[in-house]
Structure formats: structure tokens, C-alpha cells
Structure 1
């Protein structure tokens, strides 16, 4: 007879994500994970697999959370340009809540060169954000807010790259005025 789980899997997964996010994959030991998650080692292996499998599950959960957050913020915007701006603004807000930076950016820097599955999750997340930006650009072009003369796909790739760069930069500077100037400059290409 199978035992029922005596813990909230999502809550425990979020605890693991926070530890990986704070320390990185390589610096986080199995013992630290078990202690931080508050579960037995056997339960961890039975539920999440090994350390790498757990890490990939935390990436998937983070990607879901980021998408939910972006969708909530998009619902509160009045225009395509405002929605795009909110993605950039969120990178600064996100830093205030998570001084470790963006979990996907951290993963890209630490693991992408030698872990194909981690790299795939990063690419998946960044491609999803680029598609969101592209959809907003097309919406803005259809409404007349963004000039039709701008190449939508190239502009989406440019803005996504700028957003990723901003997510890196917020880890190294507390100068919000400078960060906002960077956002303003990137937004100026929409005019």
C-alpha cells in the first residue's frame, strides 16, 4: 500500500527553488536541500528524483510563475507599449523582491554550457517571452500605436535581448535612475 505524501509538494518545491536560486546548482548540496525543504531524503528522491531532476522541476515551476506574473501585469495595461514597458519595469521590481536576480538568467550563466535540459528550459522561457513581446508589437501595429514600418520579429528579438540584459544588469547595480534610462532608451525604438 502506497503511503500518502505528508507534505505539500508545491510548497516544498518552492523551498528548493529558493535555495537553488540563492546559492546556484553547484553550490547546493543534497543535505542542504533536504534540510531546507524539511523532508526526509527518501521522500525527496521518491517525489522529485535526484538533485538535477529536482533542479529541472524548479526551473519548470519558475517558468510557470513568471508566465503567470507576466499575464497578470499584461491584464492591467492599457496599450501594447505600456505592456512591453511593464515587462522591463518588472525586471527592476523583481530585483527588489529577489536580490539573487532572475532564476533563468542565473541558470543560463551557470549551467547552459554543459546541461542541455537546463539550456532548453532557459530557451523555452526566453522564446515564450519573445513571443509575448511579438504579439504585443503586432497588436500595437494593428492599433496604430507602433509604426508598421518596424519589422515586428526583429524588434521582438531586440527587445527580448534587452530585457535579458536588464535582468543581468539589475544584479550589479542599485542605480534605479540608470536602469530606468536604459528602459526609456529601449522603449524609444517603438516610436
Structure 2
């Protein structure tokens, strides 16, 4: 009788997520994934499912981490503009120090069109980030740090698309100063 392999599923998902993050969905082999997770393929199929199921779980795990980060920021008692600037600074740090770029951006371009569950998880993540940014911007407007003439919806959308462009720019140019300058310019443009 075959022995059932017991493992911590959350840790295994984290390890598989790192493989997908580095190699992408198509570049990650089943062997890469099971080696990282320290399980055999039959254990994967018996507990999680196939590679696609694992990828969906990894995307949901990744977006869950991002949601927790936003929730921690929301718990801050700092002024909204301070939270917003810190979020932008942290985004820049992730872009210029992260070896693999943004997993969500990679997944959108590589796999989101192939699986509705991936699309839904990434859309929910984007919507949550948008709401977070919108609310921070609106509050910063109320607090007088951003002009009330600005449009919170437009600025939130603009930041999300700009942030994606920063990732692309860094992948192509590997110029941290360029990314930092664009972030400073964005902050300067929205500051009152």
C-alpha cells in the first residue's frame, strides 16, 4: 500500500508560488513544482490537483498576501497622504529589488485569459487595490494634502496603470533611479 505524504499545504503553496513567480506558468515544469514543494506528483494530484489547480491556488495565495498588506496599511493612524506615499515608496522598493517582478502582472499577461478563476482572482485583487488607493486619495483630499480639484477615481486608476509601467520600465532598463524619479514626480504632481 502506498504511503500518504503529509505536508503543510500553505508552505507547499508558497514554494510553488515562488516557482511560478520566477518561471511563469508555462515555464514551470511539474518537476520544478514538486521538487520545490518536496512532494511527488501523485501527492500533488491527490491533495491539490493538477498544475492548473496549483497555479490558481498560488495566485489566490499571492493576492491574499497583498490584501493583508493593504489591511495593515489601513490600520495605520497616520494621515492618508503619508500612507499613500509610503505605499508608493514600498512599491518602488519592490520593483527595484524584486528579482521576478510582480506575479500578478505576469499572471495577467501569461495565464489570466486561459482560466476564468485566475482572471477573477486578479480582478478582485486589482479592485481591492483600486478601492484602497481611491479611499486614501479621497481622504488625503479631505485632509488638505491633495487638491480637492483632483479626481480620486482618475488618480487611483492612473496610479495602478503607472505602477504597471514602472515594472515594465525596470524590467527593460534596470534603472532604479529612473523608477524613483517617476515615483517622486507622481507624488509631486498630486501634492497640494
Instruction: Check 1:126–1:167 CA distance in 2 against 1; reply closer, same or farther (3 A cut).
Output: farther
CA RMSD of aligned residues (A): 2.2
The alignment status of 1:155 with 2:138, answered yes or no, reads no
Using the size of structure 2 for normalisation, the TM-score is 0.87
Partner of 1:165: 165
1:77, distance to aligned residue in structure 2 (A)? 7.3
Equivalent residue, structure 2, for 1:104: 104
- TM-score scaled by length of structure 1: 0.88
Cα distance, 1:19–1:187 mapped onto 2, change above 3 Å:
same
User: How much has 1:125 moved relative to structure 2?
Assistant: 1.2
Is 1:46 the counterpart of 2:43 in the alignment? no
**Post-superposition shift, 1:137?**
1.0
Count matched residues: 189
Task: For structure 2, list consecutive stretches of 5 or more residues without a partner in the other structure.
Answer: none
3-state DSSP of counterpart to 1:168: helix
Mark the CA change 1:47 to 1:168 in structure 2 (over 3 Å): closer, same or farther. farther
CA contact (8 A) 1:24 1:110 kept: yes
Describe how 1:6-155 pairs up with structure 2 within 5 A.
6-73=6-73, 75=75, 78-95=78-95, 97-155=97-155
The Cα offsets for residues 44-89 of structure 1, whole Å up to 9 and x where unpaired, read as 1122111111101000000111122233355557322222222222
Kept in 2, the 8 Å contact 1:20–1:55? The answer is yes
Question: Structure 1 unaligned runs (5+)?
Answer: none
Cα deviation per residue 1:130-175 (whole Å; 9 max; x = unaligned)? 1100010111122122221112112211112112222333333332
Change (3 A) 1:144 1:154: same
CA distance in 1, matches of 2:9, 2:143: 44
Q: Is the 8 A contact 2:95 2:166 kept in 1?
A: no
Q: Which moved further from structure 2: 59-68 or 41-50?
A: 41-50
Asked if 1 retains the 8 angstrom alpha-carbon contact of 2:81 and 2:136, the reply is yes
Matches of 2:5 and 2:68, distance apart in 1: 27
Deviates further, 153-162 or 64-73: 64-73
**Comparing 178-187 and 91-100, the one that deviates more:** 91-100
- Partner SS state of residue 100, structure 2: coil
* 163-172 or 148-157, larger mean C-alpha shift: 163-172
Pick closer, same or farther for the CA change 1:147–1:5 going to 2, 3 Å.
farther
